Structure 1
Amino acid sequence: MKRVVVGLSGGVDSSVAAYLCQKQGYDVIGLFMKNWHDDSVTISEECPWLDDSNDAMMVAEKLGIPFQTIDLSEEYKSRIVDYMFKEYQNGRTPNPDVLCNREIKFDVFLKIAESLGADYVATGHYCRKNITEDNGQKTYHLLSGLDQNKDQSYFLCQINQEQLSKILFPVGELQKSEVRQIAAEQGLITADKRDSQGLCFVGKVKLPEFLQQQLKPKTGQVVEIDANHEIYKQKISKDIESQSQKHLYQASYGKVVGEHPGAHFFTKGQRKGLNIGGTPEPLFVVETDVKNNIIYVGQGKSHPGLYRNGLKVLNHEIHWLREDLKLNIGEQQNYLARIRYRQPLENATLYQKENALYVIFENPQTAIAEGQFVAWYNNDELIGSGVIN
């Protein structure tokens, strides 16, 4: 009987994952990860970890499986939170959920599971896994979840073959509605629980308050750039370097329309939190300049400052889940790609140059933010990813 340790989060997906593993004949253990201690920055009514932990315990009790809470808050702080602060401070926009999967769930948590004799860990992710064998060599394939509205393969874009070999995705073949139905049929307390919107296993966080723990507010100017400014009229060269470059703004290019509490609290494409009214169309952040503490904004979601054809990933930040498909210098390949979770996949061409990998999209993309991840797919298989530079 193979042993599976399920990461029970207190949500419906991981609850059903545990039930399905049990049904398939695995010896199942449930573990809840406590990753956060500071309640001052979580919106406690929204997603308190204590309630989640209790729900996870009650699911384990109902299923008759051993259950334990493990405290990973130290590792979470050093590997995720400190990284987040550093990225925001440098004017980049990190994705803690991608990092949490790579560093916590499928590294620290996986090692704990193995110390308990686990053959696999299982989660409630909406992904699928396939295995092919060639000359005795196994290749693990990470595929999108069948529920296209819930597909979470993007969040696993930084894991590797060895990690993938040890993971089960019991709900990946199901629709969300089917998962809820199974939970209801089995009398699991989480059947109707709504999905949490928070950081990975932290709960719903007030991001500005969270960041202000380390990053001090610093008043600066909000400068509006007109959509017809000369900077947008320059003919963009067809070479990939030019298509991947962002616009470089100066305060003299626009007019001051307000103040902000710190450029490092904002990200490209952001609309909420500017608190500036009186414009015909809503204002969107088109660029942040943390060095000079200026936020550049433009009116409307079709503002040219929001769009770009390509992006660049430095060589040391490229990650191939399928190492066998890695591009060599001078090679190029067509893939489907996305730059954020739930974004529809878009046609793109990857070019591996000496200094970096370039991803050039068929259609211009909105709000390409440094620090986020671009992930590329062959149909529904995730092939690789990288940090947007």
Structure 2
Amino acid sequence: MKRVIVGLSGGVDSSVTAYLLKEQGYEVIGLFMKNWHDDSVTVSDECPWLEDSNDAMIVAEKLGIPFQTVDLSEQYKERIVDYMFDEYEKGRTPNPDVLCNREIKFDVFMDIALSLGADYVATGHYCRKAEEVINAKTVYKLLAGKDKNKDQSYFLCQLSQKQLEKALFPIGELTKPEVREIAKKADLITADKKDSQGLCFIGKVRLPEFLQQKLKPKEGLIVQIPENFNDYVKSTPHFENKQAELDYFSTKYKYHLKDGKVVGKHQGAHYFTKGQRKGLAVGGTKEPLFVIETDVDENVIYTGEGKKHKGLYRSVLFVSNEELHWVREDLALKTGETMKVEARIRYRQPLEKAILHKVENGLFVEFLNPQSAIQEGQFVAWYKVDELLGSGIIS
């Protein structure tokens, strides 16, 4: 009997994961990860992890599997929370869920599981794993979940071959309604439990309040940039080569105070992210204002009216070599090579046609259609059909 350690989170997905593995004849152990108990950045009066760990324990009892809680809050603070504050301070927008999978679930947690003699670690992610022998070597593939509405492969876009080898995703072949149905039939307490929102494992966090604990409020100006801003209407130069063209189109617009009109004040540019509409509290425009750029050094937020505003769109983005990751290492591009793919720059965004261009210092992703709110610090992931091949942090 192979031993599998399931990350039991107290939700329906991980409960059904444990149930299915037990049905398949694995020896199953449930571990609950406690990742947060720093009350100095209290999230709200609710304490979701207590309720969640309790639900996880009840599920384990029902399934007759061993259960324990592991405290990973120190590693979580170092690798996720501190990183988040650091990125926001630089005016970038991190994705804690992707990092949480790479750094916590499939690293720290996986090490604990393997030290307990586990053959595999299983999670309740909506994605699938396949394997194929290529050139006498087993290659692991990360595939989208069957439920297109719930596909979570994007959150696992930073996993390595070594991590994938030890991972199992039992609910990847199912849809969410099917998972709930199984939980009901098995009489699991989590069958009707609402999906958790908010940060991976921390639960409900109102981000500005969370960030205010470490990044102090600082009043600054909100500037509105008009549609006829010079750089939007100037003619495209002639390019010596393809790389010069990609460089040009991946460079973001530079704004100064004189380029628009001051329409309001904010409490800190680092609390805002590109594409954001809520929280600006500026009225008097026909269409809502959207953040098109934040300048954390000058503490200025630049906005544009309407979601079609030119300042929101770019068709090319860049990933540096240091932040480039191939799940399929065997398909990694060499300098000068290109690859047609489909890509997304955020979770649940429909896949968009794109071409990857590998250059000496990194990789350009050139989209067929301009993308709204490409934000530094977020992850871009690329696919062929339903296989996720690689990803990178947008620079």
For residue 298 of structure 1, give the secondary structure of its aligned residue in structure 2. strand
Q: Deviation per CA, 1:261-293: give whole Å up to 9, x if none.
A: 110110000011111122111110000000100
One-letter code of the match for 1:349?
A: I
Question: TM-score, normalising length from structure 2?
Answer: 0.97
Q: Which residue of 1 aligns with 2:242?
A: none
- Unpaired runs of 5+ residues, structure 2, are 240-244
Rounded Cα–Cα distance in structure 2 between residues aligned with 1:108 and 1:48: 22
1:41 Cα shift? 2.8
* Correspondence for 1:141: 141
1:19 and 2:15 aligned? no
**Corresponding residue for 2:259?**
253
How does 1:214-229 map onto structure 2 within 5 Å?
214-229=214-229
Report sequence identity in percent: 68
1:295 is displaced (CA, Å) by 0.2
Partner AA of 2:6 in structure 1: V
Give a deviation string over 1:200-223, Cα, whole Å, max 9, x none.
111111111111111111100000
The equivalences for 1:1-389 within 5 A come to 1-39=1-39, 40-45=41-46, 48-237=48-237, 239-389=245-395
Q: Is the 8 A contact 1:15 1:183 kept in 2?
A: yes
Q: Deviations over 1:294-328 (max 9, x none)?
A: 00001111111100001000111100010110111
Q: Which amino acid aligns with 1:191?
A: A
Q: What residue identity is the alignment partner of 1:80?
A: I
Q: Could you say what the CA RMSD is over the residues aligned between the two structures, in angstroms?
A: 1.0
Task: Report the residue type matching 2:43 in the other structure.
Answer: T
AA at the equivalent of 2:182: I
- 1:136 shift after superposition: 3.3
Does the Cα contact within 8 Å between 1:126 and 1:145 map onto a contact in 2?
yes
| Counterparts of 1:277 and 1:71, CA distance in 2 | 46
3-state secondary structure, aligned to 1:319: strand
Matched letter for residue 99 of structure 1? L
Query: In structure 2, do the counterparts of structure 1 residues 211 and 272 end up closer, same or farther at CA, with 3 Å as the change threshold?
Result: same
Distance in 1 separating the partners of 2:319 and 2:58: 44
CA distance in 2, matches of 1:63, 1:260: 51
Q: Distance in 2 between matches of 1:169 and 1:113?
A: 16
CA distance in 2 between counterparts of 1:209 and 1:361 reads 35
In structure 1, how many angstroms separate the alpha carbons of the residues matched to 2:134 and 2:327?
Answer: 17
Contact 1:41 1:206 in 2 (8 A): no
Return the letter of the residue paired with 1:371. G
Range moving further from structure 2, 145-154 or 236-245: 236-245
Mapped contact 1:308–1:364 kept (Cα < 8 A): yes
Check whether the contact 1:126–1:169 (CA below 8 A) recurs between aligned residues.
yes
Query: 2 CA distance for matches of 1:377 and 1:348?
Result: 10
Shift of 1:229: 1.8
**Range with greater deviation from structure 2 (123-132 or 269-278):** 269-278
- Structure 1 residue 44 displacement after superposition: 4.2
The CA deviation at 1:144 is 0.1
Pairwise CA distance, 1:137: 0.8
Q: Secondary structure of 1:159's partner?
A: coil
Ranges of 4+ aligned residues in structure 1 off by more than 6 Å = none
Deviation by residue 1:67-108 (Cα, 9 ceiling, x = unmatched)? 101110000000011100110000000000000000000000
Q: Contact 1:236/1:243 (CA < 8 Å) preserved in 2?
A: no
Name the SS for the 2:208 alignment partner: helix
Where do 5+ consecutive residues of structure 1 fail to align? none
Q: Distance in 2 between matches of 1:35 and 1:278?
A: 44
Give the CA deviation at 1:236.
3.8
1-structure distance, mates of 2:72, 2:385:
36
SS in 2 for 1:361: strand
Distance 2:268 2:178 in 1: 44
Aligned length: 388
Q: Deviations over 1:315-365 (max 9, x none)?
A: 111000101101111111111100000000000000011122100000000
Q: Distance in 1 between matches of 2:160 and 2:121?
A: 15
Q: By how many angstroms is 1:371 displaced?
A: 0.2
CA distance in 1, matches of 2:91, 2:28: 43
| CA 1:304–1:267: 2 relative to 1, 3 Å | same
Moved more, 375-384 or 272-281: 272-281
Q: Distance in 1 between matches of 2:297 and 2:64?
A: 56
Normalised TM-score (structure 1): 0.98
